[in-house]
Structure 1
């Protein structure tokens, strides 16, 4: 049985739902397709959002010989077969190659296309669910235009689902299909922005639901739930989603938004990514809260230890406690800025030698080398402080730590000012 998703696949650009940021009127990809001057392109985005559909539409608008390969099972020999066809009568106008899942091609396989994409004998349209800037060979990437496809909105998916119902109704002819609005909305929401998944779930419900007494097929919310299974979660521990969610998680805490922070924690919890959560919370406590609330890292460490011992599902509770604590705590990145500046100086400056006064003097003959000579022991002075040079001569006036404006560091600033003025 032909998949319903293939039966309703658009044949015209106007029939494609979503992706208006690139396919809308006067948008760049729309203009490219209408011009029929097709460059090498890479379509990047999640599954089920129209990458293959748009590639097929582009193929139908050109007079080039069309080839289609999937990098999960294709090899260099498949590419060589296409290359062997070049300059033949069949490919007199050139070749349009659609290479799906290009991230599964290694560097050598991708390099085999370089010469022909550069001289125009092969026009490449590649698609990938992974970030092409990580997975596509740089030389091939530089010869291609990258277009990002985004998750479809619920409204766009519902439009396609309604079209799918109409197609099946025409097939069955003598059977009326009644699909509740709530069922369509559930199919759309449950798919996580993946149109193909929502249509597959609809297809399952249409072909497995028995006719009622009137001979009609009724798809209600209960049937939709039964045929959909668990909601798709847009998360991949090894891909972009992993880093995107962690990035949003940390930025929400840094931005003092506990609601957004808890939302992204929930995504990570759903993915079962306990290690990443714990590591990131410890980083945030040091990097973003820092000296504004030094005890935060101790509390977070306790929450993290508890979460690791408990495991899911109970781990979610101490993790939520840590997240809300960090999101609502005062913020300071002064320690992070200070150490990064010091590390940068080591990489980029001649910082010079350690002052002799500070060097180790706990061995015979150290004084003959002027080690430790002239060092003043701070505890012998008022406020346990005495002015002396600690930094190397080349950077003796360098300032790394600049206190931020918060209660804790204001107290630090006041203390440092006081002991220095007392001298």
Structure 2
């Protein structure tokens, strides 16, 4: 699906004429989040580091100079699409919007061909691609030449880290602009405007909402204005009109409207790994409260409990290890139980293992020991196994000296300290201090 406009986005004679989809001035039947989309920087809330006086976006909007290709990176509902429209408006270029979810190489090539034809007539094209990270490498490659030669001015929007999801060649031709999550105060301001605006907002329905509930909704939205506005609209429409003509929205209705949308979480996205990283780092730091919080964020956001259990098992050996050998028992037991019973009951063994691991003494001796041994193994990969450690399974091997000098420790206890088991070049090398293993035995 593609839509285009010409001229300014700020109303008047140059109001954009959309093709295939609704006008940017959304109709009364459009979702509240679309109706309330800012039409100018004066209406835009948040991202002061971009739209404040003298900042990048304001300079682009007010300067009227050449528009560079841009990649807007930020969470859902942070204002990426709106900024794209605001930036493109004053340029006088044709605005063409594609969704990477709904389009492919065919649509890209058509858009570029039309842009090239317009350029021959002296009309530039801003090609806005929403969710650009959804395009695969070949689809992104299809844009390179058009961006390189100026056929299109690319504005991409992505919720994922462009370093991982956008081709380096495309990144080198664009400027990455990072949008921060909206603050609760920003979202609250947007909600208040929607409540009172009688034309584009909900003002004509005369909704009433306690300030504390509005602020709670703003905070629960996680910096996503779209989530907050959608929940607000749902709650207002679900509230019957009172005798005085108002719609008093109750806290329970608002909570039901918000539902699980408060968890801005994508199982396959960067947030998934950021939350997992926060859990592991909190456990490593022995902060049980923080670890439980991040565990809850993962579980309530819909993370695979087996994934969580695997991470706990890794930490139990990597960061606790011989300091408390029972840690890996707790983690592996939780993993087995979770596989048997799943969620929601699986949250209990996961929480138990999380608390245990947070309070367990920490040691990375196993990690240090292994990688020290691995470094030596790489450096001496061609070193032969000492003859006395080889297994002599044939008469030729015995004649060649295989197994000669080997001392069976059960019959010869002194072999433990006297028989070398490392290659000669590594004689005396220590990877794990004797105290570590002894302490582990004492705790078992």
* TM-score (norm: length of structure 2): 0.82
Equivalent position of 2:400 in the other structure:
369
Equivalent position of 1:105 in the other structure:
135
Distance 1:27 1:393 in 2: 65
Q: Is 1:387 paired with 2:406? A: no
Equivalent position of 2:307 in the other structure:
276
Q: Is 1:129 paired with 2:172? A: no
Q: Is 1:5 paired with 2:36? A: no
Distance 1:170 1:144 in 2: 34
SS of 1:235's equivalent in the other structure is coil
Write out aligned runs for 1:125-164 (5 A).
Answer: 125-164=155-194
Distance 2:420 2:414 in 1: 17
Q: Is 1:306 paired with 2:334? A: no
> 1:281 touches 1:323 (CA, 8 Å); kept in 2?
yes
Q: Is 1:51 paired with 2:74? A: no
What's the CA shift for 1:210? 3.2
Q: Is 1:317 paired with 2:348? A: yes
Equivalent position of 2:326 in the other structure:
295
1:19 to 31, 47, 51: 47
Unaligned runs of 5+ in 2: 1-28
The aligned length equals 411
Distance 1:217 1:281 in 2: 48
Distance 1:34 1:352, change over 3 A: farther
* TM-score (norm: length of structure 1): 0.86
SS of 1:307's equivalent in the other structure is helix
Distance 1:108 1:174 in 2: 49
SS of 1:57's equivalent in the other structure is helix
Distance 1:251 1:173 in 2: 46
What's the CA shift for 1:383? 5.8
What's the CA shift for 1:285? 0.6
Distance 1:410 1:11, change over 3 A: farther
Distance 1:119 1:305, change over 3 A: same
Deviations 1:353-380 (A, max 9, x none): 1112211124323232121223344445
> 2:222 touches 2:264 (CA, 8 Å); kept in 1?
yes
Distance 1:32 1:203, change over 3 A: same
Distance 1:411 1:201, change over 3 A: closer
Distance 1:246 1:64, change over 3 A: same
> 2:35 touches 2:201 (CA, 8 Å); kept in 1?
no
Equivalent position of 1:328 in the other structure:
359
Write out aligned runs for 1:231-270 (5 A).
Answer: 231-270=261-300
| RMSD between aligned residues | 3.0
Larger deviation: 148-157 or 202-211? 202-211
Write out aligned runs for 1:52-67 (5 A).
Answer: 52-67=81-96
What's the CA shift for 1:74? 2.1
Larger deviation: 103-112 or 288-297? 103-112
Equivalent position of 1:202 in the other structure:
232
Distance 1:71 1:219, change over 3 A: same
Distance 1:91 1:307, change over 3 A: same
Equivalent position of 2:241 in the other structure:
211
SS of 2:157's equivalent in the other structure is strand
Equivalent position of 2:110 in the other structure:
81
Unaligned runs of 5+ in 1: 414-423
Distance 2:381 2:85 in 1: 59
Equivalent position of 2:7 in the other structure:
none
Distance 1:116 1:37 in 2: 16
Distance 1:119 1:397, change over 3 A: farther
Equivalent position of 2:68 in the other structure:
39
